[in-house]
Amino acid sequence: MSTVSSLVPRLIPLQHTTEQGSFSLDIDVAIPAKGVTGLFGESGSGKTTLLRCIAGLEAGSDTDTRAPHERGIGYVFQEPQLFPHMDVRANIEYGLKRAGKARLETDAVVKMLGLGALLSRKPGDLSGGEAQRVAIAAVLLRSPELILMDEPLASLDQRRKDELLPYLDRLHDELSVPIIYVSHSIDEVCRLCDHLILIEEGRVVADGELHAMLARLDIPMLAGRNAGTVINATPERHDSDYDLTLFRFSGGELLVPGKYDSTIPNMRLRIAASDVSICRTRPQKTTILNVLPADIDEIQPTGSSTDLVRLAIGDDFLVAQVTRRSVTNLDLRKGDHVFAQVKSVTVRR
């Protein structure tokens, strides 16, 4: 089945312009027809407006004249919009009945989202996280061509978020339907997305594959607290004496606190730029567990006190946030061999 067309990734074009008072949206971008695309930007940047345009809920210059019910779009709102007079089963089957086709079985979706015990409840008796799971199940059973998620975790407290996130992981892993996931949390994006669109004041600032985007130093939105990369690594063995797991990635090994299942390949490790420092020589007698030989790939002068330095390790990249003074003192230059000290690694999935 390896035809030429299957090798070229299919793209979904998104072209939308609209004016709302002083705010204008002008988007022309394409997203992969598979996987999760993160739509990342501050509140007021036009993320929700873009989703509403895609869904046909917003007046604007839209070449698509179909009414919302004809578009095959699944929309997960920030606040789950369930029908209060129907029980959970009727809610999740509402779209299924109207879709005329079923790509997924009700039972499979109920199981996937853990709704078995909730089916005869009314939406008023559900917690925020449960209601959001019901809304997601309803959207999945509608067999949409594209799913839009507008900060589905934003209205939940941290505990409910942690409860719902594994279900979103499963959507990512088990579904072939493309998802656009709106967020202003870089952590959620790093965990759930494969592709990233950055949006500011109604315009696309940059877009591309997640790992590559995070390794870019020239995007102000990805500087500061958001700076850092994601590398894929596979847990190899657990050291029970110290409760550390050894992960292997293209550039070597990383020790991460906690125990991780070695049967899951390609877990995502998030390394924030503020947790990476650079040494000219291999540091001796340090408390930092992870010291990796690396090459300086690029230095982005910011003009302020801190610079961003991209380090190439194997096929992966780390970004280090270091003071401009250190860059001068150590005379760091592109192509130099250095050692990266990684203070903290977060397992994102």
Determine how many CB atoms are found less than 10 A away from the CB of residue 204: 18
286 binds other proteins (CB under 8 A): no
Choose one: 69-77, 226-234, 269-277, 303-311; the region binding other proteins (CB under 8 A). 69-77
Choose one: 136-144, 159-167, 183-191, 194-202; the region binding other proteins (CB under 8 A). 136-144
Indicate which single residue of 61, 81, 127, 329 sits in contact with other proteins (rule: CB under 8 A).
81
110 binds other proteins (CB under 8 A): no
Residue 140 Cβ vs other proteins, minimum distance, rounded to whole Å: 11
Residue 136 Cβ vs other proteins, minimum distance, rounded to whole Å: 12
121 binds other proteins (CB under 8 A): no
211 binds other proteins (CB under 8 A): no
67 binds other proteins (CB under 8 A): yes
- Which residue reads 């967020």 in tokens? 183
Choose one: 73-81, 163-171, 201-209, 267-275; the region binding other proteins (CB under 8 A). 73-81
Indicate which single residue of 133, 142, 191, 270 sits in contact with other proteins (rule: CB under 8 A).
142
Nearer CB in complex with other proteins: 148/327: 148
Indicate which single residue of 95, 129, 202, 251 sits in contact with other proteins (rule: CB under 8 A).
95
Residue 95 Cβ vs other proteins, minimum distance, rounded to whole Å: 4
> Which residue from 45, 55, 39, 264 is spatially nearest to 144, judged by alpha carbons?
55
Indicate which single residue of 85, 225, 259, 282 sits in contact with other proteins (rule: CB under 8 A).
85
Residue 74 Cβ vs other proteins, minimum distance, rounded to whole Å: 7
d(Cα 51, Cα 35) in Å, to the nearest integer? 17
Nearer CB in complex with other proteins: 85/280: 85
104 binds other proteins (CB under 8 A): no
- Which residue reads 């790093």 in tokens? 190
Residue 129 Cβ vs other proteins, minimum distance, rounded to whole Å: 18
7 binds other proteins (CB under 8 A): no
66 binds other proteins (CB under 8 A): no
23 binds other proteins (CB under 8 A): no
Residue 315 Cβ vs other proteins, minimum distance, rounded to whole Å: 41
CA-to-CA dists, residue 33 to 98, 104, 132, angstroms: 24, 19, 24
Nearer CB in complex with other proteins: 126/256: 126
3-state secondary structure the chain: CCCHHHHCCCEEEEEEEEEECCEEEEEEEEEECCCEEEEECCCCCCHHHHHHHHHCCCCCECCCCCCHHHCCEEEECCCCCCCCCCCHHHHHHHHHHHHCCCCCCHHHHHHHCCCHHHCCCCHHHCCHHHHHHHHHHHHHHCCCCEEEEECCCCCCCHHHHHHHHHHHHHHHHHCCCCEEEEECCHHHHHHHCCEEEEEECCEEEEEEEHHHHHCCCCCHHHCHHHCEEEEEEEEEEEECCCCEEEEEECCEEEEEECCCCCCCCCEEEEEEHHHEEEECCCCCCCCCCEEEEEEEEEEECCCCCEEEEEEEECCEEEEEEEEHHHHHHCCCCCCCEEEEEECCCEECC
Indicate which single residue of 40, 75, 181, 317 sits in contact with other proteins (rule: CB under 8 A).
75
Interaction site with other proteins (CB under 8 A):
55, 57, 67-69, 71, 73-75, 77, 79, 81-85, 94-95, 98-99, 124, 135, 138-139, 142
